[in-house]
Structure 1
Amino acid sequence: MSIDKQASVGHDSQLKKKEKPMDIDTVLLETEEKMTKSIEYLQREYRGVRTGRANTALLEYVKVEYYGSNVDLREIAGISVPEPTQLLIKPFDPGSKAEIIKAIERSGLGLNPQSEGSQIRIMLPPPSSERRKQLAMQVRKMAEDCRVTIRNERRDANKSLEALENDPKSKISEDQVTSAKEYIDEVTKKTTTKIDDLTNKKVSEVEEI
């Protein structure tokens, strides 16, 4: 065997040794982490949905083309709320102002940014009744997408548990797998309840006059 092949085999062996074997605790931990991240993603999505009140979160994740890369607006500008119905943007680099305005205009938020010297001001008139209905539907669609993700994560976890049960090397009993599945169901239920609570709150904010 050549030196290169020996080195390759040795490297592969080291990688295998470093890999953490899959067990019930690992499945449960990874599933909880995935569901938590799904909730965090939904919260970020909701922050970007316009309501009748000015909120810096509305613009924080708007993507702006900056020196060939798409970056979050919050990374290249300060965003503040000088008045309840206004947002003020102060670019860290004055040369990025034009791209920031373009990004906001094409963001789909229905905003009209106005250039004022080195800064950008946005007035936030209350959304119309029809627009509020559209936003509420958008929020509910985001929630349903998140629920689908959670169901998929539950399904994947159960498949992993079943694979462990059927693996003679794992020495995991049927009772252990049943208990783990019950725990996954409990986490799924709590996560779904969290989605419902966040959604009801956001819909109320959107529909508030």
Structure 2
Amino acid sequence: MDPDEILFDAEERMDKAAQVLQDQLVGLRTGRANASLVDSIRVEYYGSPTPIKQLATVSVPEPQQIMIKPFDQSILSEIGKAIQASDVGLAPNNDGRVIRLNVPPLSTERRKQIVARVKEMAEDARVAIRNIRRDANKHADTALKDKLMSEDIHESTKESVQELTKKYEGKVNTVAEAKEKEVMEQ
């Protein structure tokens, strides 16, 4: 691999690692209703697990409530069962037309647990970024050994990979700190 390919591959993979963290954090409960809380829930619909978003309109009519209005009323009970079986921790209220999920305020203890989970997820993302750095450095070492790049280019490639690592670790830290602040402030 030439230096540009190594850097491009590393940056692309590091960006994906940071994006995965952002996607995971969106689904974390913060005490405020958010339609993305139910994004990961799948409903058994005609034999296949289907995301709620494809079966219903998900809205937030009040700060502490999520409303799910299915396109097909016959699957209302299936949506309720899927929500109960999920790890969202919310009880569905079915009135025959829509399902309402009341999001209770979080206790201080629960907030601390969520912050600990955010830190865990952020550390996983940082580890993934460091693993990508290791792989990129290994490619550079191999290219040097195979005489596909000079020592100067090898060193500058490694420095560039380290800069990318710092950039994406900083991005992960920023996202995690913002989520921690959001969880603790409400």
Paired amino acid for 1:177: H
Aligned equivalent of 1:23 = 2
The two structures, once aligned, show a CA RMSD in angstroms of 1.4
TM-score normalised by L of structure 2: 0.93
TM-score normalised by L of structure 1: 0.84
Residues in 1 aligned to 2:65 and 2:74: alpha-carbon distance in whole angstroms: 23
Aligned equivalent of 1:95 = 74
Paired amino acid for 2:74: G
Selected match of 1:195 from 163, 172, 178: 172
How far 1:66 moved relative to its partner?
A: 2.7
Structure with the greater alpha carbon radius of gyration: 1
How far 1:157 moved relative to its partner?
A: 0.7
Structure 1 stretches of at least 4 aligned residues deviating more than 3 Å after TM superposition: none
Paired amino acid for 1:130: E
Aligned equivalent of 1:8 = none
Aligned equivalent of 1:208 = 185
How far 1:90 moved relative to its partner?
A: 1.4
Q: Quick check: 1:158 aligned with 2:137?
A: yes
By relative contact order (CA 8 Å, sep 6+), the higher-ranking structure is: 2
Kept in 2, the 8 Å contact 1:52–1:208? The answer is no
Residues in 2 aligned to 1:71 and 1:147: alpha-carbon distance in whole angstroms: 31
- Residues 19-60 of structure 1, C-alpha deviation per residue, up to 9 Å, x if partnerless? xxx322111111111111111111110011001211111112
* Number of corresponding residues: 186
Percent of aligned positions that are identical: 47
Q: Quick check: 1:111 aligned with 2:111?
A: no
SS in 2 for 1:127: coil
Question: Mind listing any 5+ residue stretches in structure 1 that lack a counterpart?
Answer: 1-21
Question: Mind listing any 5+ residue stretches in structure 2 that lack a counterpart?
Answer: none
SS in 1 for 2:62: coil
Aligned positions of 1:127-206 closer than 5 A: 127-168=106-147, 170=148, 172-206=149-183
